[in-house]
Every structure is written in C-alpha cells, then in structure tokens.
Structure 1
Amino acid sequence: MMQPRRSPRNPFLLALISLHLQFLSGLAENNPSDPKSENKDANDHASRGSSTGLKILIVFLGLVSVIAFCVFLFKLWQRKKREEQHARLLKLFEDDDELEVELGMRD
C-alpha cells in the first residue's frame, strides 16, 4: 500500500511556493468579462507583456543579488575562520622564552 505524500513543513519553502503561485495567478488573469473590454485588452496586451517581463526580470535580479550576497558572506566567514586558525597555529609554535628559562632549558 502506498503512503500518502507528506506536505513540506519548512515555512520558508511554503512562503516561496505561495509567492510563486500568487505570481502565476497574476499572469493568468487574462479573462475578458465583456465585449467592450476586448478592444481595451488588445491595446493593453503589449504593455501587459512588457510589465510581466519587467516583473520577471526584477525577481530574477533580486534572486541573483541575494545569492551573491550569501556567497560574499560565506567567503568572508571562511576568511575570518582561516585567520583565526592561523593565529592559533602561530601561537602554538611561537618561542616562549619565559617557559624555557623556568624549565632550566635556557639561561
């Protein structure tokens, strides 16, 4: 017997799906309700297509900028972590004169 598929429980994923569906429903609102609106729709069709393309472009650029910002933050975090590890390594191998004098290894 096949188990029913579970719905995603991630709130970020649900919000993203909701926004995507709202965007698609906005694209699908091309139902003329009366004959008078057919002429108006024919004139507005070109401007509607360009505004839809503009919306898609804005969403795409926003997504690219968010991804670029996340990559930048990740690289910054990696560099900071690498510098901390390097400082720890240097501290581990630095010559400690006081310790050698106390242990009688050096005068």
Structure 2
Amino acid sequence: MSIRIPSASWDFRGFLLFFIFFSSFPGTILTQEVTLDSIRIFTTHDWFSTKPTVYFQCKGENKTVLPDVKRTNVSYSFNGEESWQPLTELKGTKCKRCGIYEDDPLKYDTFDEWELCPSDFTPDGSYKRVKEKEFNATFLCHGCSQVGAGSNKQSGTEKEEEKGGMHPAIVILIVVLILGVVAVGLLVGYKYWRKKKRQQEQARFLKLFEDGDEIEDELGLENTI
C-alpha cells in the first residue's frame, strides 16, 4: 500500500531547499547600510559661495546632502544617527558607482567618484577614502564584514583586481548539472545501442530464415531432378 505525501509537505520542502540554496551565497540576502563617520574637505569648487553644498550620491539614487559640511579644513564627525543617514545600502557583494559632489547653480562639481564595494571595508567595518587636495572621508559598514572584508583601495584609483574563482556552491551546482547531462547522454546512448542491437538481431534472424528457404528450395529442385 503506497502512502501519499500531502502536497503541502512538498511545498514546504521546496521552500526549505530554496532557502538553503540561496542562503549558501554570502550576501545574497543581507543588505548592509553605509554611513558617514567623518569627512574633511580641502577646497571648494564654487567661487561665488563661501559655504558650499556638499552631497553624496550613488548612481540611480537620490542625493544625500551633508548639511554640516560648510567649511574647508575642518573635520566633521558623525554618529550615524543623523536624519540623512545612512548614505546608501550595499546588497550582497555588489558594488555601486558613488561619489561626493558640490552643488553649483550652473552645474555640479565632483570631489571624487569611485566604485564603492563591500570588500573595501576592513573587518572592523571602516573604509577611508582620500582624494588628494579634495577631501578625506571615513565610511562605516559593519554588516559588510559578513561578506568578507578586503583592503582599502588607494585614493583616486580603481579596483585593480577582481575576485578570482567561484563560490563553492556555484561549482557544486555546475558539477551536478554536468553529471546530469552526462547521465542523460549515457541513458540515451544506451537506449540507442539496444535499439540498434535489436534491429541487427532481427535482420540476422530474417537472413537466416531466408537462407533456410533458399536451401529448402534447392533441395526440392534436386529431388525433382
């Protein structure tokens, strides 16, 4: 007597396997908040204003104005609880194109633009960005250490090395897929071989049957003669 497992049980198992598989990729679900810890600007780009409007922005996101940053060569520190914090969020291991700019009535001026990545942050969750004669700033992202912290990038330079290799879960998935394809190929090949062998046996049997008829015909002719 077969036991039928309720479909709800299979739905739960499918959800559980789905959750385990995707949670095996670090940073697939985690979202890390990036806050500004401190900043000091060394220059301004607007010649007609003594109090610049400095803001942070990532590509495709809204501006985050830094309302306290109004004077050059002054170090501004923050506790991460300001109304304009966090600056942005980093999801998983993905990077974002971000920058610090100065608002100008005619255009915007760039202090610096760079790729902001979770791997930029040290294990203690800090990342220092320095642009010569422009600014230096320290960012915090405590959750980024869960995805794997890396060394800071040099000021004004892009990331020189990409992460090498693949995640073990991806390798296992690729191996399973390859083994599945090989197994299907072997099964199809075996069935084709069995079919060809059966056809050959049938052809041999028919040939033997025809050869037997020919022998009988020859014997019949000889008896008649």
TM-score bucket of the superposed structures, by smaller chain: 0.5 to 0.7
Residue aligning to 2:177: 60
What CA distance in whole angstroms lies between the structure 2 residues aligned with 1:106 and 1:93?
A: 19
What CA distance in whole angstroms lies between the structure 2 residues aligned with 1:39 and 1:64?
A: 38
- The two structures have a TM-score, normalised by structure 2, of 0.30
Residue aligning to 2:188: 71
Task: Give the aligned length.
Answer: 86
Summarize the alignment of residues 13-92 of structure 1 with structure 2, pairs less than 5 Å apart: 22=17, 25-29=20-24, 39-43=145-149, 50-92=167-209
What CA distance in whole angstroms lies between the structure 2 residues aligned with 1:85 and 1:52?
A: 49
Amino acid corresponding to residue 21 of structure 2 in structure 1 = G
The root-mean-square deviation of aligned C-alpha atoms, in Å, is 3.8
* Greater RCO, CA 8 A, separation 6+: 2
- The two structures have a TM-score, normalised by structure 1, of 0.55
**The structure with more radius of gyration:** 2
Q: Deviations over 1:59-89 (max 9, x none)?
A: 1101111011111101110110111011011
Matched position secondary structure for 1:42: coil
Q: Deviations over 1:21-63 (max 9, x none)?
A: 647523325577xxx88514334xx79x622221221111011
What CA distance in whole angstroms lies between the structure 2 residues aligned with 1:59 and 1:105?
A: 67
Unaligned runs of 5+ in 2: 1-5, 31-141, 150-162
Unaligned runs of 5+ in 1: 1-5, 8-13
- 8 Å Cα contact 1:27/1:52 also seen in 2: no
Residue aligning to 1:96: 215
Matched position secondary structure for 1:52: helix
What CA distance in whole angstroms lies between the structure 2 residues aligned with 1:39 and 1:28?
A: 16
Structure with the higher fraction of residues in strand conformation: 2
Residue aligning to 2:222: 106
